């Protein structure tokens, strides 16, 4: 548990008789998430903490005061605030306003219209870019755009479109602006040429996505003021879907502390609308150990830099990349890459450093073959420097085996899963065959008693919309509708929601603080536009929040509650795609 002394004292005060609430939400179908099918009608909140739950009349009578805000939710479904345990929220915040999102777009025709429309308003010299959140299977046409279509749509301004981790499209103007030629090379990647040796604009990741992400880094960047605005807009978009917490898994090119300054400023000025904890990702190949030695010595874990919200913004530990040689790149357009022989030698001293200094860590691991070697390193370190309850986890773990799960549990680890196969299931099946079991094996993880958190890994592959991820958990289907793993392995509604609430809270050591709507926990919850517990599994994809509460305060409101919406600054710059289309498209 990570509560501050202040919060512990507050809880003691809240147990005293005669308390009046700051907020009462009543007439709801409120899922406590303490056990299946446990619902209450009302929840009373004081100083960001849940005072009590129960019958509407009783709660209103007991906790109403002269200044109590009372919100009648008129029978709507209310759930704990969702918590994405693996998202790149800090990085996307810096870029969101500069990106055109194809998330949720139903046809390729409409996607190309968006591209043309955005090009018309984009100033000369500014890039139009689509970075993740889509695949061809979401489109009615069931295909990707061609480079010829992209060039025809936008002939005079640079365009860059990424497709999963394996491919990107660079239009002719983009090639010209960057000065790329047939002699341009990137290690581990291919820049496709035509029969005459000229670049086509297609980039393919082979061993690594270096060409794609180096090119992305050369596109338009927002200025400092725009980055602040961009982060606010992205956080609000997450609130739109009921998210109140996020665990940032860091990422390539996300340098500490420089790239954290924007989110830190929002935390210090009470402008964050989610509780955020973050991990640190080693950026320089061959210098990872030096990075972690520096961070262990100079930074403080669990120091809350948000003075307005408990556990509002804090450093969590190390990951998801610990060492470059342990990165098992998940490009299902290509066969699995075998990790280098140096991996164990590189990884061991870092794990030893982290365990010795009681630093939680997480490690990207797609394949069971990689997990096998990583676990061997962990077990070796544990024999000499015991983990002794240190929180650690694998990320992804699509093909982890039952025997490996047993070893994870023995070491006290957890697993953060994401719905990457929602976007890549067809490609995985084409490469390896359609699985007869659940991938990743979430149910087996749960049966074995391993802590499991849920997330999206947004935004460079998947959308950030948690209800798309929930649809995957409830059906086992891909975005394109393919039954990727057996339907009888699908989770039930309570189990899926539990992963996205209390399950994810474990990842940041807050399982005793949030994830349920019960007395003493953080007042983070969402009022939904549809009843999650009764709608069809397909209709789950259309769920949004009409009222999102974080720390006992409204951070997002729509529909009949729109008047409660806090002031949100206008989107900048004026040409931003977000100003015209938002994020996830309806």
Predicted pLDDT of residue 30: 99
- Best CA proximity match to 323, nearest among 371, 294, 288: 288
What confidence category does residue 5 fall into, taking pLDDT thresholds of 50, 70 and 90? very low
494 contacts 80 by C-beta, under 8 angstroms: no
Tokens of 347: 């990884």
CB-CB contact of 49 with 19 (8 Å): no
pLDDT digits (tens, 9 = 90+) for 110-147: 999 999 999 999 999 999 999 999 999 999 999 999 99
Cα gap 442→470, rounded to integer Å: 13
Whether a cis peptide bond, with omega within 30° of 0, leads into 257 is: yes
Residue 12 binned pLDDT confidence (cut-offs 50, 70, 90): low
> Is there a domain that residue 65 lies in?
yes
Structure-derived torsion over alpha carbons of residues 174, 176, 182, 187, reported in degrees to the nearest 10? -50
User: Is the model's pLDDT at 577 over the cut of 50?
Assistant: yes
CB 105 within 8 A of CB 557: no
Residues 468 and 503 in one domain: yes
pLDDT tier, 7 (very low <50, low <70, confident <90, very high otherwise) = low
Give the pLDDT confidence score for residue 4 in this predicted structure.
Answer: 46
Q: Are the C-beta atoms of residues 401 and 423 closer than 8 Å to each other?
A: no
Q: CA-CA distance, 325 to 344, in Å (whole number)?
A: 9
500 and 372 together in one domain:
yes
* CA-closest candidate to residue 81, choices 258, 267, 250, 311: 311
Give me the mean pLDDT over the 478-485 stretch.
Answer: 97
CB of 374 within 8 A of CB of 419? Answer: no
Which residues does residue 483 pair with via DSSP β-bridges, in sequence order?
477
Task: Verify that 79 and 104 share a domain, yes or no.
Answer: no
Based on the domain organization, do 430 and 289 belong to the same domain? yes
Per-residue pLDDT band for 11 (boundaries 50, 70, 90) equals: low
3-class DSSP string for 187-242:
CCEEEEECCCCCEEEEEEECCCCHHHHHHHHCCCCCCHHHHHHHHHHHHHHHHHCC
Residue 10: which pLDDT band, with cuts at 50, 70 and 90? low
Phi, psi of 80 (to 5 degrees): -60, 150
In a domain, 575, yes or no: no
d(CA 201, CA 34): 53
Q: What is the mean pLDDT of residues 431-447?
A: 96
Quick one: the chain helix, strand, coil %, rounded to 5?
A: 35, 20, 45
If asked whether residues 337 and 476 sit together in one domain, one would say yes
Structure tokens belonging to residue 40: 């209450």
Q: Supply the pLDDT for residue 64.
A: 98
Q: Kindly give the interhelix angle for 368-384 and 402-410, rounded to the nearest 10 degrees.
A: 30
From CA 161, how far away is CA 129, in angstroms rounded? 6
Q: Please check the confidence at residue 565 and state whether its pLDDT lies above 90.
A: yes
- Same-domain check for residues 256 and 403: yes
What average pLDDT does the segment 65-86 reach?
99
pLDDT digit string, tens, across residues 379-393? 999 999 999 999 999
Q: Give the closest residue to 60 by CA, choosing from 13, 51, 524, 560.
A: 51
Instruction: Domain count for the chain, please give it.
Output: 3
Please indicate, yes or no, whether residues 337 and 468 belong to a single structural domain of this protein.
yes
- Residue 79, both tokens: 């759930």
213 assigned to some structural domain: yes
- Orientation of helix 466-475 relative to helix 420-432, angle to 10°: 50
What three-state secondary structure class fits 99? coil
Q: Is the pLDDT of residue 154 over 70?
A: yes
pTM: 0.96
Q: How large is the angle between the packed helices 343-356 and 288-298, nearest 10 degrees? A: 10
Q: How confident is the model at residue 252 (pLDDT cuts 50, 70, 90)?
A: confident
Residues counted in the chain: 586
pLDDT at position 554 over 70: yes
180 falls within a domain: yes
User: Do both 150 and 78 map to the same domain?
Assistant: no
Beta strands 199-205 and 167-170, pairing class: antiparallel
Do 139 and 48 have their domain in common? no
CATH at 556 = 2.30.40.10
Same domain, 434 and 492: yes
How would you write 255-292 as a 3-class SS string? CCCHHHHHHHHHHHCCCCCCEEEEEECCCCCCCHHHHH
The residue with greater pLDDT, 17 or 131, is 131
In a domain, 319, yes or no: yes
* Domain CATH code at residue 317: 3.20.20.140
Residue 53's beta-bridge partner residues? 43
18-72 tens-digit pLDDT: 699 999 999 999 999 999 999 999 999 999 999 999 999 999 999 999 999 999 9
**201 plus 343 within the same structural domain:** no
Question: Does 320 fall in a domain?
Answer: yes
Per-chain mean pLDDT for the chain? 96
* CB-count burial class (<10 Å; 0-12, 13-18, 19+) for 9: exposed
> Torsion angle of alpha carbons 206, 211, 213, 216, nearest 10°?
-140
- Please tell me the predicted confidence (pLDDT) of residue 467: 99
Q: Which domain holds residue 464?
A: 242-507
Q: Which tokens go with 543? A: 């769920």
The side-by-side arrangement of strands in the sheet containing 23-26 is 49-54, 42-46, 23-26, 69-72
Q: What's the rounded Cα separation, in Å, for the pair 357 and 273?
A: 31
Beta bridge partners of 323: none
In a domain, 515, yes or no: no
Model confidence at 231: pLDDT above 70: yes
With respect to residue 134, please indicate whether it lies within any of the assigned structural domains.
Answer: yes
Q: Give yes or no: residues 134 and 247 share one domain.
A: no
> Has residue 13 got a pLDDT over 80?
no
**Crossing angle between the packed helical segments 261-268 and 224-240, to the nearest 10 degrees:** 70
Distance, in Å, from the CA atom of 43 to the CA atom of 69, rounded to the nearest integer, reads 12
């Amino acid at each position: 548990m990570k509560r501050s002394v202040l919060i512990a004292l507050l809880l003691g005060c809240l147990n005293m008789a005669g308390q009046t609430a700051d907020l009462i939400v009543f007439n709801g179908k409120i899922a406590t998430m303490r056990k299946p099918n446990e619902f209450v009608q009302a929840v009373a909140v004081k100083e960001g903490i849940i005072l009590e739950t129960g019958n509407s009349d009783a709660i209103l009578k007991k906790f109403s005061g002269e200044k109590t805000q009372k919100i009648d939710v008129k029978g709507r479904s209310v759930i704990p605030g969702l918590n994405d345990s693996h998202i790149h929220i800090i990085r996307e915040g810096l870029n969101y306003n500069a990106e055109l999102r194809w998330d949720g777009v139903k046809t390729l025709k409409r996607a190309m219209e968006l591209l043309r429309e955005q090009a018309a308003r984009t100033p000369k010299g500014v890039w139009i870019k689509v970075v993740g959140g889509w695949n061809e299977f979401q489109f009615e046409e069931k295909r990707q755009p061609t480079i010829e279509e992209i060039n025809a749509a936008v002939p005079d301004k640079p365009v860059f479109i990424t497709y999963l981790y394996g491919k990107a499209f660079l239009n002719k103007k983009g090639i010209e602006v960057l000065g790329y030629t047939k002699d341009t090379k990137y290690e581990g990647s291919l820049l496709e040429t035509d029969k005459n040796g000229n670049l086509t604009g297609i980039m393919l990741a082979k061993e690594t996505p270096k060409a794609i992400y180096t090119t992305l880094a050369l596109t338009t960047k927002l200025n400092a003021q725009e980055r602040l605005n961009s982060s606010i807009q992205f956080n609000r978009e997450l609130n739109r879907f009921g998210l109140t917490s996020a665990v940032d898994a860091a990422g390539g090119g996300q340098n500490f502390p420089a790239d954290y300054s924007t989110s830190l400023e929002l935390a210090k000025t009470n402008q964050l609308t989610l509780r955020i904890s973050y991990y640190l990702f080693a950026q320089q190949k061959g210098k990872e150990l030096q990075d972690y030695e520096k961070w262990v010595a100079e930074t403080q874990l669990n120091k809350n830099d948000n003075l307005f919200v408990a556990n509002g913004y804090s450093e969590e530990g190390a990951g998801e990349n610990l060492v470059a040689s342990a990165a098992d790149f998940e490009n299902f357009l290509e066969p699995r890459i075998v990790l280098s022989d140096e991996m164990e030698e590189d990884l061991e001293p870092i794990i030893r450093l982290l365990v010795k200094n009681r630093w939680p860590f997480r490690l990207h691991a797609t394949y069971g073959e990689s997990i096998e070697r990583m676990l061997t390193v962990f077990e070796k370190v544990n024999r000499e420097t015991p983990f002794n309850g240190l929180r650690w986890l694998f990320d992804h773990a699509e093909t982890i085996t039952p025997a490996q799960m047993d070893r994870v549990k023995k070491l006290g680890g957890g697993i953060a899963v994401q719905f990457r196969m929602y976007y890549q299931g067809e490609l995985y099946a084409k490469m390896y065959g359609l699985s007869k079991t659940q991938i990743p094996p979430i149910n087996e993880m749960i049966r074995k008693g391993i802590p499991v958190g849920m997330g999206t890994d947004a935004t460079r592959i998947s959308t950030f919309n948690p209800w798309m991820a929930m649809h995957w958990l409830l059906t086992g289907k891909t975005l394109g509708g393919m039954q990727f793993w057996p339907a009888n392995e699908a989770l039930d509604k309570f189990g899926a929601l539990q992963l996205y609430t209390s399950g994810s809270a474990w990842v940041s050591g807050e399982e005793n603080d949030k994830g349920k709507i019960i007395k003493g926990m953080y007042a983070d919850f969402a009022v939904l536009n549809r009843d999650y517990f009764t709608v069809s599994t397909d209709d789950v994809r259309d769920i949004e929040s009409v009222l999102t509460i974080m720390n006992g305060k409204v951070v997002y409101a729509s529909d009949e509650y729109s008047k409660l919406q806090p002031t949100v600054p206008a989107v900048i710059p004026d040409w931003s795609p977000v100003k015209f289309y938002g994020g996830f498209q309806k």
